[in-house]
Structure 1
C-alpha cells in the first residue's frame, strides 16, 4: 500500500509529464484546409461516424467531455460554437503555435502518411513540433494501389496488361525498399476495414489446395483490375494475398539479416462504418501470428471492443503488442479506464504501446494525450493504493507505455528523456517487491524449510533456515531477522577484518521473487534472497542486491540485460596423494565429446540440465571447456538482479548434483598452470543502443576499479595474462576479440572476460553498470578504437594509435587502490561500503598469503 501522498504525487507528475512516443498517427491538415469543416468536420475528433450519425454524435458523452476540455484549451465558453470561433482566431493568427500546443509532450511521431495524398502537411513538417524526427509507417494497401496505378499507366503506353506475376514482382520491390529505408520504421494493414481480419494463410506450393488458392487470387486480382483506376484493394482473396505476400517479404528479410525486423500494425476493433465489426476481432489474426513468428504484430486501437481478446494474444505470443490508441477520446471516461484495466488483465506491460491515432485536426492529438494521461493516472494510482503495484512498478509501467516500448519495438534508438540527473538517482534507495501465495504454500507443504540467504563481501553465501510458518511471519512483518553488523567485516572463517565490531545489526527482508525450491538435495526446502535494512527499515548501504538494483534503476529508461556463463571444473578427491583433488576427466578438450567425457561426465551433465529445468532455469547450451574436467553452462539473459539471482541458484544446483556423485564443482580461477583458467564471463546489453559509446567509454575509463570486484582475490590475477583467452593484459575492447577484456558481440552487447566465480556478482555487475552510467551522464567520448588483436602483441606506438594506454591491474592491491581513488564510482557504490569492502579484501588476502600454495589452493577449492 502507498503510505505517503507525496510518493503518489510523484507518480501523478510522472504520468502527466513524461515525454511520449506516438506510435500510430496521421498527418495534420495544412493551414488552408484545417478550417474546411465540410470536407473535414470538426466533430470527427470524437467519433468515427459520418453524415447524420456524425451530427448526432454531439449528443454523446465523449463529445460533451471533449467540449469541456477543449474550452480550457481555447480559453472560451464550453460550447461548440465558442470553441469553433476561438479555434478560427488561433488558427488564422498562429497555426504553427496552435499545432505546437496540441503536440506538447510528444517526443516522436510515427505517421501512417498514406491515409490521403492531398490537403495535408508532409510528414517531415511535423518535425517542427517534436523532439525527434518523425518516422513513417507504410500502409501496404495504399502501396498495392500505387503498384496497380503504375501497371495501368504502363499498359496505356506499352499495351502490356497488368498481370498478377508483375504485380507480385513490383510489390515485393516496394516492400524491400521500405524495409531498407531508415525513414520507415514499420508497416500497416487496413485489411480489417476492407475485407476483415480472417486473413487466409497462403498454403505451401505442395499443399493439395494451393492451385485453387492461387486461382481464387488471380480471379480476385482481375476483378479489381477491371474496375479500373483509382484502384481500391477491397476484394477478399486479393486483400489476403497482399497481406501474406508482405509478411513473407518482411520475414524473409528477418531471416537474412541479424537486424531487428520492422513490425506491422493491423487496424483492429472499432473504426469507420465500412468495416465488418465481427471480423474486426483480432482473434482472427491468430493463424498469421503463429505462422510469422519473426514478425512483431501491433494490434491497433485497443482492439475495442475486443480488448481482452487482444490481451490474450499479447500474453501468449511474444511477437504481439497491444496499442492503446483511438478509444481516447472516442469513448466515455469510464470506458477509457475499463479498457486500460482490461489491457492490464493479461498483457505484459512491456508490450503495451501508446498512440493517439491523431489525424487531420491537431486537437485529436491534444485530446487523446490528455485523456489517456488522466485515465492512466487514475488506474495506476488505484493499483498502487490497493497494493497491486509498487510505486516503482507503476512508474516503470508509465515510462514503458509512453516511451520505452515503442522506442525498442520500432528500433528508434532514441536517447532516454533527461528528466532527472542519473548520477543523483543512482544514490537513492529502491527495492523490488513480489508476491507469493504463502497461504497456499502453508496448506500444501507445511513442513517446508526456507533458507534465507545473503552473499557477503567474500562472496560467501550465508544462510538462516526457518520453518515455513516462521518465514511467513517474517514476510508479514510479524518478526524480523537481525544479523550482526560484524558480517560486513567477516572473512570466510568468521574472523573479522580491521574495523569490524560486534555491536549493532541489520535486518533481512526476503525478496519473494527469488523463492525457489532446492533441487538435487535430500531436503524439503527452498531458498530466497534478501535485501538488507537498517533499524528504521531503510536500505542499508553495502547491501549487494540493493546496490545493483539501485544502479539499474538509475540507468532507466535504458534497459539493461545480463547473461552469465558458468564455468566449473569437476574434481574427485583422490584416495591417494593426501586426498588431493583430481579432475573428473583427463582426455579432454574444448567442445569435444571424448570417450572419457562420455563415460565419466555425460550423465552428470545431463542430470544438471534436467535438474535446472525442473526449477525453471533453462540453459541455452553446455559444452566441454578447455581444461581437464572443465565444463561450461550458459544461462539465458534476464534483467540484472534476476540474472545474478539465477546465476547463484544455478551454481548451487550444479554443486548439489556434483555432490550426489561424490564430486566437487569448483570455481577456482586457475586449477592448472598448463591449461586455461575458469571464468564467469558476463554478457551485458543496453537498449536503446544510442548510448553505447559513452557507456563503453565509462566502463573502460573505470575498468581498474571494476576489477576490484570482478577479480576479487589474488588468485584471480593468474588469468590476467596474454595467450590464455582471458582478456589479456590491457584495458581495451574488440569486436569478437576474445583477447580483450571487453568483447563486443553486436551493437549494445558486450562480454566482460575479466571476471571469475570468486566475485560477489551483485557488486561486480553494479560496478560495471555504474561505470557505464557515469560514461552516459558525463557524455564521455570513446577514445579506444576497436582492437583487432591481442594488445599485448602490439608495440607501444601501435597501442597508443588505438587509444590503449592502461594495463589491467596485475594484483588485487592495484585494483583496490584504483577503486579507492575513483571518486565517481565510490560515490555510486557507497563510500562507507567501499571502505569496508577494501578492508575485508586486504585482510582476506593477507590470510591467504600466509598459507602454503597447496594448502591455499585446497582451502579455496573447498569453499568456491
Structure 2
C-alpha cells in the first residue's frame, strides 16, 4: 500500500490515561457506556484490540484490561512513539483547536518520524482575539490580521460551524452593518463560545479569501451538534457562492451523509470529501462505507484522514481500517475485471496521499 498523508487529525495525550479516560476516546458520547459494558464494546473498540496490541508485544484481540496494563508498563511517550511510527503515516495536518494536554504538531512529528503542519481552527482563533480586543472595530481588525498571519504558515483552516450553529447558514458574507452589530452584541455578552451565525459566516468568508483550503465539519460528532443540521447538502448555496474566490472546501467525515459529500465533490470543482472518522467508527464495516464514498466522489477529490484525537491508537486504527478496506475493495474490483490493476494502484495513491499533497 502507498504511504499515507493524514490531512485531518489532532494531538495525542502526553500522559497515560486511566481506563475510563482511554475508553472515552472510543466514542462520541459524553455519557457512560451501557451498564455491564464499556466503549471497547463498539466497532472502534474492537478495532483497537485487533490492530494495536501486537505493536506493544501482545496478541491481537487481547482483553482491554491486559492491553491497558501493558500500555502503562510501556509508558505514554514510548507507547505513542511505537504506535505512531507503525501507522504508516508520513505527514500529519493537525487541527490544534481541541482542548487538553495534547502534543503539538512538532511533537507529533518527533514521535512519529513524519512531518506535521497546522490547521488553524477559526472559532478558537476568534475567541482568543475577543479576550484581548473587547471593542468591535478593534476585534474585527485584529481578526483580519490574525487570519492573514495564520495563512502565511498554516496548511489550511477548519470551521466547526456545524457544531456551533448548523450548516444551514445564509450563504452570502454578512454586510458591514450586520457584522458590526453582531460583533458588538457578542462582545457585550462577554464573548465566550462563538455561536452567532453572522460571525460564523464572517469567519468562513475570511478564510476563503486567503486561498487556503477550508475544512468543514459535516456529519456525526458528539452530542454538542444536531446531526440533521450537519448534512453537507445544506452547504450547497454557500458552495456556489464561494466558488469565485478559488477557495477549496473539504467536507470532513460526512457519515451518515457521506454519499451526499461524494455528490458535492463530483459536481463542484472546488469541493473535496474526506473519509476520516467514518471508517474508524464503522470498524469491520469500513469497507462498505468506503465503497459508498467511492460511488460518486471523483478519485482525485477523496482524501484519507484518521481524525485521531487523544490516543495514538486512533492513528493506527484509522490507517489500518482504511488500508484493509481499500485493499479488499480494489482486489475485488480488479478480480472481477471492472478495474485494471494499474488503475487500482493509481487510485490508491491518489486517495492515500497524492490528493492531499496537491490540495495543501
Structure 1 segment 525-564 matched on structure 2, within 5 A: none
Q: 1:56 to 1:130 in 2, by over 3 A?
A: closer
Q: Note closer, same or farther for the CA distance 1:97–1:187 as it changes in structure 2 (3 Å cut).
A: closer
How do 1:693-704 residues align onto structure 2 when only pairs under 5 Å count? none
Which has the higher Rg, Structure 1 or Structure 2?
A: 1
Query: What is the DSSP-based 3-state SS (H/G/I as helix, E as strand, rest coil) of the residue aligned with 1:23?
Result: strand
Confirm or deny: 8 A CA contact 1:283 1:310 kept in the other structure. yes
Specify every segment of 5 or more residues in structure 1 that has no aligned partner in the other structure, as ranges.
1-14, 153-161, 251-260, 411-864
Give, in angstroms, the shift of residue 315 of structure 1.
0.4
Instruction: Determine the structure 2 residue equivalent to 1:21.
Output: 5
Structure showing greater relative contact order (alpha-carbon pairs closer than 8 Å, 6 or more residues apart) = 2
Kindly report which structure 2 residues correspond to 1:536-685, keeping only aligned pairs within 5 A, or say none: none
Distance in structure 1 (CA, Å) of the matches to 2:343 and 2:126: 43
CA distance in 2, matches of 1:361, 1:148: 31
Which residue is 1:126 aligned to? 108
Of 180, 183, 202, which aligns to 1:221?
Answer: 183
Which has the larger share of helix?
2
**Deviation, structure 1 residue 92:** 5.6
Deviation at 1:227, TM superposition (A): 4.0
Report matched runs for 1:363-374 at 5 Å: 363-374=313-324
C-alpha RMSD of the superposition: 2.3
Matched, 1:185 2:185: no
Q: CA deviation at 1:66?
A: 3.0
Q: Which string of whole-angstrom CA distances, capped at 9 and with x for unpartnered residues, describes residues 667-699 of structure 1?
A: xxxxxxxxxxxxxxxxxxxxxxxxxxxxxxxxx
Match of 1:79 among 42, 46, 63: 63
Equivalent residue for 2:39?
A: 57
Provide Cα deviations, 1:167-208, integer angstroms capped at 9, x if missing partner.
221111111112222xx1111101111101112123686xxx
CA shift for structure 1 position 45:
4.0
Per-residue deviation, 1:126: 1.8
8 Å CA contact 1:34, 1:361 repeated in 2: no
1:83 Cα deviation after fit: 1.1
Q: Is the 8 A contact 1:141 1:189 kept in 2?
A: yes
> 1:148 Cα shift?
0.3
- Taking a change above 3 Å as real, the CA distance of residues 97 and 124 of structure 1, as seen in their structure-2 partners, is closer
- Aligned residues of 2:9 and 2:308 also touching (Cα < 8 A): yes
Q: Which aligned pairs between 1:72-151 and structure 2 lie closer than 5 A?
A: 72-74=54-56, 75-76=58-59, 78-91=62-75, 94-95=78-79, 97-102=81-86, 104-116=87-99, 118-130=100-112, 132-151=114-133
Using a 3 Å threshold, how does the CA distance of structure 1 residues 46 and 383 change in structure 2: closer, same or farther?
Answer: farther
Instruction: Give me the whole-angstrom Cα distance separating, in 1, the residues matched to 2:215 and 2:76.
Output: 36
Q: 1:367, CA displacement in angstroms?
A: 0.9
* Inter-partner Cα distance in structure 2 for 1:298 and 1:314: 9
Partner Cα separation in structure 2 for residue 28 and residue 62 of structure 1: 17
Mapping for residues 160-171 of structure 1, pairs under 5 Å: 162-163=135-136, 165-171=137-143
In the alignment, structure 2 segments of 5+ residues that lack a partner are: none
- Counterpart of 1:201 in structure 2 is 171
Cα–Cα, structure 1 residues 328 and 90, in superposed 2: closer, same or farther, change >3 Å? farther
Correspondence for 1:450: none
The answer to whether the 8 Å contact 2:85/2:113 transfers is: no
TM-score w.r.t. the length of structure 1 is 0.39
Matches within 5 A, 1:760-799: none
Equivalent position of 1:315 in the other structure: 266
Q: Distance in 2 between matches of 1:349 and 1:45?
A: 31
- 2:191 paired with 1:239: no
